[in-house]
Amino acid sequence: MTPSDRAAYRRTITGFSNPLVKFLRSLREKKHRKREQRFLAEGLRLLTDARECGIVPEMLVMAVGRDPHPLLDALEEAVSAAGGEIVEMDVDILAKVTGKDNPQAVAGVFAEFDTRIANLDRSAAPIWLVAQALRDPGNLGTMLRTGDAVGAGGLILLDDCADPFSVEAVRASMGAIFTQKIAIARWDEFQEWLRAGEGQLVAASLREPTDYRRAPYAAPCFLMVGNESQGLPQEYEEACDLRVTIPMRGRADSLNAAVAGAVLAYEALAHLERSVS
């Protein structure tokens, strides 16, 4: 595609009061994201990860005067080829859009993914991560990143979790928002789906648990962590096939929820790999 072809999809924004700037800024709030079914991702690395996964932003937003980069050229071509829009604006305006004093030179607007649990293929991976009432978007993004690192199928969010499409969660995922499947469900809906097929549900727990290093994990394994301050409700733990604990050697009585999920994921992965070797 030639530069003249790409120009047909380009426009420049020069004022803070432009309606498009207001629209982009609105995507930082959950109610507007839900209304528009769109979310914002910032940074060349994140947008390149999306492109390499076959996901292209509907709108590419770039700072005027940015440094040239071949990956940015590839993004422009991909967005243009998909019939998207390319928008340029001063870096000060882009800072208003992203809410960062020193924004990266590029951001993208993406359509939110279908998060129905019925769309998941449990056989696609040996490990899945599950979070119940996780409130911190940074923890949520970290769990997505962990899932990508261990080859998990995705992250299932139960009950009232943070929004996976928030700017903070997307940023913390380091691109894993585009590599991991995401499902959102209530507990009862999740249980019905899980028990309709194969799947071992494992809880991070302090109630009659097994040491996580000696637990008999089985694929597909669904590793569940609870709310950062309250953990999992007792009835949720009692419904699990296995409860495991991570020994604490110091004064702290527990790990951060996302860290606990990562520790369990790597141990379960090692166990499952040994069992098939």
Whether the domain at 3-111 and the domain at 117-276 fall into the same CATH topology: no
What is d(CA 267, CA 244) in angstroms, rounded to the nearest whole number? 11
> Would strands 38-42 and 106-111 be described as parallel, antiparallel, or unpaired?
antiparallel
What CATH number belongs to 3-111? 3.30.1330.30
What CATH number belongs to 117-276? 3.40.1280.10
Encode the chain (277 residues) as per-residue pLDDT tens digits. Answer: 444 444 447 899 999 999 999 999 999 999 999 999 999 999 999 999 999 999 999 999 999 988 889 999 999 999 999 999 999 999 999 988 888 777 678 999 999 999 999 999 999 999 999 999 999 999 999 999 999 999 999 999 999 999 999 999 999 999 999 999 999 999 999 999 999 999 999 999 887 889 999 999 999 999 999 998 888 999 999 999 999 998 888 877 677 899 999 999 999 999 999 987 6
Six-digit token pair at 202? Answer: 């494992």
Tally the C-alpha atoms within 13 A of residue 38's C-alpha that lie toward its C-beta. 17
Neighbours of 37 (CB within 10 A): 11
Domain boundaries, the chain: 3-111, 117-276
